[in-house]
Amino acid sequence: MAYKPALPFQKTKEMYHSENKGLVLGIMAGAAAAISFFLIWYHKNETHNESGTIMTLHGRQLQVLEKLNGLVISVEELKREIKFLKEAIPKLEELVRDELQGKANAHRISPSHRATKKRKAETACGTPDNTSSEEAESEGGYITAHTDTEGESEEEKGWVISSGATVVRSEEETKLANLLQNVDHLHGGSVDDKKKSFRLLLEEKEQYGKHARFLWRLARAYGDMFEMTTDVEEKKKYVANGKISAGKAIQLDAMSAESHQWFAVMCGYMSEFESMQNKIKNGYLFKEHLDKAIELKPQDPFLYYLNGRWCYSVSQLSWIEKKVAEALFGTPPTSTIEEALQNFLKAEEMHPGYSKYNYVYLAKCYNKLGQKSNALKYCDSALSVLSVTNEDREAQKDLETLLLTLKP
């Protein structure tokens, strides 16, 4: 068969089927593209709408969200605290139990508790109570001395050891008190007794030299020795040491009337040997400490007697002595016979027949005031007093001189 060329654009059956297949595929591809484009557009619009909605929601509910967030945080903290408490409660129970147990044990082993029960038992059995004032309980309720130590622990024995120190101090205090009582008794005795008192104080000075009660008595003993000796150098030595002792006593106890009193006395004694300048200076010191002693012990007639002596001496100062005092201290001391008389009368009122010298000075004051009858009256009173001490003998000399001026 001869070959025939094909006419242009002539389709065969196979070609028709091939073109239909390509068309379907193109349509499907276009549809898919269209659908994809639509989906992209839809999702884009949807995204814009959702963003706007979220922004609107955020603007309206921000405060609510913040409060909710704070609430969540608070709940978390509360949960942590609850957990901590659950862990701590068992430990707290243990601590309370130990504390209560410790107090119960302290009550059982307390020496004061046991000693109290023992004293009650002894009282019930009729046992005499030998507890002294040194066994008084302290503020903590513990016995300070003679605590029963039988069956005590080492810690309780430590309390007793410290209490024992208190007993030692008490014994030392008792020894000092006995010494001072003996010294006071000897001071009121004879010349030999006063010398013995002085020796005792010197022997114990190293041990008790830091006690004001001891030191002012030592100063007083130096004063006794000053009165009993006639040697001028010894007098100076005694009065110098006496003033030092009284001064130390004042440093240890500024509220001790006796310390001020004997410091003033030493100043008065020293004026017998000093220059006019030192005499006036000691006069000021005498008055200062005497006034303090009277303030602290206003019931002592001896202090008013001394004050009367000071007033009398000042009233009799010479013109030159007053000028020296004015130049040294700005204002000279001043007093009058009337003031001296009132002090001597007060001493006599507080203690009638107080001293021979007090009567003599009463007579001197009345004589200065021109009251001769009263002066003679007290001269007679002075004559009735025996001269026992050196001071009494000095008073007798002054009395005899005064009587020569009073009697015609």
Helix axes 356-368, 372-383, angle to 10 degrees: 170
17-37 mean pLDDT: 47
- Burial class (CB within 10 angstroms; exposed 0-12, middle 13-18, buried 19+) of 93: exposed
Using alpha carbons, select from 48, 351, 371 the residue that is nearest to residue 40.
Answer: 48
DSSP string, 68-109: HHHHHHHHHHHHHHHHHHHHHHHHHHHHHHHHHHHHHHHHHH
Q: Please report which helix (H) or strand (E) contains residue 66, including its range.
A: helix 13-109
DSSP string, 266-329: HHHHHTTTS-HHHHHHHHHHHHHHHHHHHHH-TT-HHHHHHHHHHHHHHHT--HHHHHHHHHHH
> What is residue 76's predicted lDDT score, i.e. its pLDDT?
73
Find out whether 228 and 390 touch, Cβ atoms under 8 Å: yes
Residue 266 has pLDDT above 60, yes or no: yes
Residue 298 has pLDDT above 60, yes or no: yes
Find out whether 361 and 309 touch, Cβ atoms under 8 Å: yes
> What is residue 107's predicted lDDT score, i.e. its pLDDT?
41
> What is residue 52's predicted lDDT score, i.e. its pLDDT?
52
Helix axes 337-350, 301-315, angle to 10 degrees: 160
Which of the listed ranges 6-15, 52-61, 96-105, 275-284 does the model predict with the highest average pLDDT?
275-284
Q: What is the pLDDT of residues 204-252, one digit of tens each?
A: 999 999 999 999 999 999 999 999 999 999 999 999 999 999 999 999 9
Indicate the pLDDT class of residue 89, thresholds 50, 70 and 90. low
Residue 5 has pLDDT above 60, yes or no: no
> What is residue 373's predicted lDDT score, i.e. its pLDDT?
95
Indicate the pLDDT class of residue 113, thresholds 50, 70 and 90. very low
Please tell me which residue, 96 or 63, carries the higher pLDDT value: 63
Residue 4 has pLDDT above 50, yes or no: no
The SS3 call for residue 131 is: coil
Residue 288 has pLDDT above 70, yes or no: yes
Tokens describing residue 36: 């994809």
DSSP string, 181-250: HHHHHHHTS-HHHHHHHHHHHHHTHHHHTT-HHHHHHHHHHHHHHHHH---HHHHHHHHHHHHHHHHHHH
Comparing 52-56, 366-370, 402-406, the range with the smallest average pLDDT is 52-56
Is this structure's pTM higher than 0.85? no
Residue 97 has pLDDT above 80, yes or no: no
> What is residue 59's predicted lDDT score, i.e. its pLDDT?
58
The b-or-e profile of 287-309 (16+ CB within 10 A means b, else e) is bebbebbbebeeebbbbbbbbbb
Residue 2 has pLDDT above 60, yes or no: no
Polymer length in residues for the chain: 408
The b-or-e profile of 54-66 (16+ CB within 10 A means b, else e) is eeeeeeeeeeeee
Mean pLDDT of the chain: 75
Comparing 61-75, 313-327, 328-342, 358-372, the range with the smallest average pLDDT is 61-75
Please tell me which residue, 96 or 331, carries the higher pLDDT value: 331
Residue 256 has pLDDT above 50, yes or no: yes
Using alpha carbons, select from 183, 224, 219, 196 the residue that is nearest to residue 390.
Answer: 224
Instruction: Please report, as a single letter, which amino acid is at residue 383.
Output: L
> What is residue 331's predicted lDDT score, i.e. its pLDDT?
81
Residue 25 has pLDDT above 80, yes or no: no
Find out whether 171 and 140 touch, Cβ atoms under 8 Å: no
Residue 31 has pLDDT above 70, yes or no: no
Using alpha carbons, select from 305, 354, 310 the residue that is nearest to residue 335.
Answer: 310
Residue 404 has pLDDT above 70, yes or no: yes
Which residue bears the tokens 């020296």?
Answer: 324
Indicate the pLDDT class of residue 100, thresholds 50, 70 and 90. low
Comparing 114-118, 187-191, 293-297, 387-391, the range with the smallest average pLDDT is 114-118
> What is residue 30's predicted lDDT score, i.e. its pLDDT?
52
| Dihedral pair phi/psi, residue 115, rounded to 5° | -65, -35
The 8-class DSSP code of residue 5 comes to P
Instruction: Please report, as a single letter, which amino acid is at residue 86.
Output: K
- Rounded alpha-carbon distances, angstroms, from residue 211 to 107, 187, 245, 307: 40, 19, 11, 27
Domains and CATH numbers, the chain: 180-297 (1.25.40.10), 299-407 (1.25.40)
Q: What is the pLDDT of residues 133-190, one digit of tens each?
A: 333 333 333 223 333 333 333 333 333 334 444 444 578 889 999 999 999 999 999 9
DSSP string, 18-44: HHHHHHHHHHHHHHHHHHHHHHHHHHH
- Rounded alpha-carbon distances, angstroms, from residue 351 to 70, 326, 337: 92, 37, 21
> What is residue 325's predicted lDDT score, i.e. its pLDDT?
83
